[in-house]
Amino acid sequence: MSTIRLVDGRAVLAASAELTAIYAAVFCVPPWNEPPERAEGLADRLADWTEKPGFIGAFAYTGASVSGFALGYTTPSPFPSDRSYGQVSTILGPDAAASLSGRLEVGELAVHPGARRVGLGRRLLDAVVGDRPAWLLTVPTIPGTTAFYDAVGWQRWGTGYGITIYANVPLAPAG
């Protein structure tokens, strides 16, 4: 049985090598096929994310080893326009996108392939989100991603630009 623990930024940074190995095992192989440089850059992203307001992390431990992780932080206000945020605003409309500000943004969820199919993804997501309004992006063309979020009860709010936007509670109406 795996144990889920909430962790702070210091713990995330201390486990950077383990998280990078999990990230590479998940995302640098089919069907994701991200380049190795993306995994190698995880440490820099972690350093940035752990400094964001509202940062929270959760680790799944199988024995003494980390077998999965989820990370989140509060979406800034006003709603940003850099990175994928501009695409989110275009897909949802400005009012619905603005309603994401102040919510928990799930930035990463990864379970090592050897630890899948036992509910760790769901448990990690539940641990990091708790009862907060939250949202996330996923890639709809990767088999199983949208099916997972549909199965755990999240609501699809839009798809475009190669991303699907999910939230665990309703968004403001488009307008």
Q: Does the structure show a pLDDT above 60 at 175?
A: no
From the number of C-beta atoms within 10 Å of its C-beta (0-12, 13-18, 19+), residue 71 rates as buried
The token pair at 59 is: 């680790």
Mean pLDDT of 109-123: 95
pLDDT in tens, 32-58: 999 999 999 999 999 999 999 999 999
Give the residue-averaged pLDDT of 16-31. Answer: 97
pLDDT band at 171, cuts 50/70/90?
Answer: confident
**H or E element that contains 156:** strand 155-160
139: closest CA among 130, 129, 127, 147? 147
Return the pLDDT at 39.
Answer: 96
Residue ranges with strand state E in 43-138? 56-62, 65-74, 104-111, 134-138
3-state secondary structure of 114: helix
